Chains A and B, each alone.
Chain A
Amino acid sequence: MTMTDEPQQKIEAYVNRLRGRLRGMNAETAREIVEEMHSHIVDKVAMTGGTTADVDAVLAALGTPEELASQYRVDDLLSQAESSRSPVRILHSLFRWASLSFAGFFVLLGSLFGYFLGIVFIGCAVLKPFHPRTTGLWVSSSGGHNIATLLHGSGGLQPGARELLGWWIVPIGLVVGCGLIVLTTQFAVWCVRLYRLSRVSTHGREAA
């Protein structure tokens, strides 16, 4: 390896790492980001002596490819989440976010729980007319509240269990279930937005 090749190889290595970290985003968007950063690096290096140390300084000023990519990716996740408002799209974004950070993992867990509970309530409301004796909200003998079997015949009710709400589970289940799904969606979007703001702030502080 000659000294003249080394700066070039460093630039290529940076750009390739960035390309790898942008995987999962829209291909055309990712290609544009990589091309723009490559153009920035080449222009900035051309303003210097073009030595390995100059390239190192230019790349350091940009931050690592991982930091740079995560800013774009979180923006991408946020815009997808904001533009769709669909729980399926949001969950898809959260699964990708969970692969990027612990914060994303915990938001995914919380959101899965919220959506699951919402679906259980809606499921109860929908199944009640078909399986009135085994679908509903029950108080078990131990005093804890639980939503009993959704499917007819699966499991058995505890002896002494008492049904609450009765047929009211149909409207209440629909309202509470839909409400939980809307609230969980808003919670997820709020978390993503908060995380994006805090990341930009931390990045700025490190670079200051």
Chain B
Amino acid sequence: MHPGNQNSDSGDKWEVQLRKGCLELAILAALWGRRLYGLEILRQLEDDSDLVLSEGTIYPLLSRLKASGLVASEWVESDAGHPRKYYALTAAGEARALEMAAIWGRFSASMTKLLTPLAKGNR
């Protein structure tokens, strides 16, 4: 394999891991103070970020968050003629979101500081 391609592949892999790692916090943030159904969460994430690589990964993740007690769900009848499954944060989910947001704030501040020379193009 060409060394350049290999670098690009590891870059892609790193980006996928990074997005995946942020997806849980992004979902908890999207649900902050409101309840949404799956497609609304997806639209929210697509509008505000490019975190979602595949729609198929969101629903199993929501189910995992529910199993961990971070979100609760309920079926609500809709005008569309079929029920929709709405998700909302539980108290544990709110606490987890706040905790993750605080970690994210510290982490991103220190990374931004470290990356300052790169942003200026210095070597």
- Which residues from chain A sit less than 8 Å from chain B, CB to CB? 32-33, 35-40, 42-44, 46, 61-63, 67-68, 71-72, 75, 79, 200-201, 203-208
Asked if B55 contacts A62 (CB within 8 A), the reply is: yes
Dominant SS among interface residues on chain B: helix
Selected from A35, A61, A75, A208, the residue in CB contact (under 8 A) with B55 is: A61
CB distance from A40 to the nearest CB of B (A): 6
B residues in contact with A43, CB < 8 Å: 39, 80, 84
Tell me the complex Cα distance, A113–B85, Å.
43
Asked if A207 contacts B54 (CB within 8 A), the reply is: yes
Asked if A39 contacts B85 (CB within 8 A), the reply is: yes
Identify the closest chain B residue to A208 (Cβ): B53
B residues in contact with A201, CB < 8 Å: 13, 16-17, 20
With A208-B16, A208-B53 given, name 18 new contacts (CB 8 A).
A32-B85, A36-B38, A38-B82, A39-B84, A40-B39, A42-B82, A44-B39, A62-B56, A71-B57, A75-B60, A201-B20, A203-B54, A204-B16, A204-B19, A204-B53, A205-B13, A207-B53, A207-B57
Interface 1/0 per residue, B45-62 and A, CB below 8 Å: 000000001111101100
B residues in contact with A68, CB < 8 Å: 56, 59-60
A residues in contact with B83, CB < 8 Å: 35, 39
Asked if B12 contacts A205 (CB within 8 A), the reply is: yes
Dominant SS among interface residues on chain A: helix
- Which residues from chain B sit less than 8 Å from chain A, CB to CB? 12-13, 16-17, 19-20, 37-39, 53-57, 59-60, 63-64, 67, 75, 80, 82-85
Asked if A42 contacts B80 (CB within 8 A), the reply is: yes
List 6 A-B pairs, Cβ < 8 Å.
Answer: A40-B55, A42-B82, A43-B84, A63-B55, A71-B57, A71-B60
B residues in contact with A46, CB < 8 Å: 80
B residues in contact with A205, CB < 8 Å: 12-13, 16, 53
A residues in contact with B60, CB < 8 Å: 68, 71-72, 75
A residues in contact with B63, CB < 8 Å: 33, 72, 75
Tell me the complex Cα distance, A126–B25, Å.
51
A residues in contact with B84, CB < 8 Å: 39, 43
Asked if A204 contacts B54 (CB within 8 A), the reply is: yes
Tell me the complex Cα distance, A33–B39, Å.
14
B residues in contact with A206, CB < 8 Å: 54
Asked if A79 contacts B80 (CB within 8 A), the reply is: no
Asked if A36 contacts B16 (CB within 8 A), the reply is: no
CB distance from B54 to the nearest CB of A (A): 3
Asked if A63 contacts B82 (CB within 8 A), the reply is: no
